[in-house]
Amino acid sequence: MKEKGLLIVLSGPSGVGKGTVRKEIFSHPDTAFEYSISMTTRAPREGEVNGVDYFFKSREEFEALIKEEKLLEYAEFVGNYYGTPVDYVRETLEEGKDVFLEIEVQGARQVRKKFPDGLFIFLAPPSLSELKNRIVTRGTETEDVILNRMTVAKEEIEMMNLYDYVVENDEIERACERIKAIVVAEHCRRERVEPRYIKMLEVE
Binding site listing for ATP: 12-19
- Give the span between the Cα atoms of 105 and 114, in whole angstroms: 15
Burial of 100 (0-12, 13-18, 19+ CB in 10 A): buried
What does the binding site for its own copies look like in residue numbers (CB under 8 A)?
Answer: 121-122, 124, 128-129, 131-132, 135-136, 150, 153-154, 157, 160-161, 163-167, 177-178, 180-182, 184-186, 188-190, 193-194, 197-198, 200-201, 203-204
DSSP 137: T
CA 165 to chain centre: 11
Least distance (Å) between residue 134 CB and its own copies: 10
The dihedral sign for the CA sequence 111, 116, 117, 120: positive
Least distance (Å) between residue 163 CB and its own copies: 5
Cβ proximity to its own copies, 59 vs 189, nearer residue: 189
- Give the span between the Cα atoms of 174 and 179, in whole angstroms: 9
Cβ proximity to its own copies, 25 vs 39, nearer residue: 25
Q: What are phi and psi of 30, to 5 degrees?
A: -90, 5
Least distance (Å) between residue 200 CB and its own copies: 5
- Give the span between the Cα atoms of 157 and 155, in whole angstroms: 5
Least distance (Å) between residue 188 CB and its own copies: 5
Cβ proximity to its own copies, 2 vs 45, nearer residue: 2
Cβ proximity to its own copies, 101 vs 124, nearer residue: 124
Q: What are phi and psi of 28, to 5 degrees?
A: -80, 130
Least distance (Å) between residue 84 CB and its own copies: 22
Cβ proximity to its own copies, 57 vs 178, nearer residue: 178
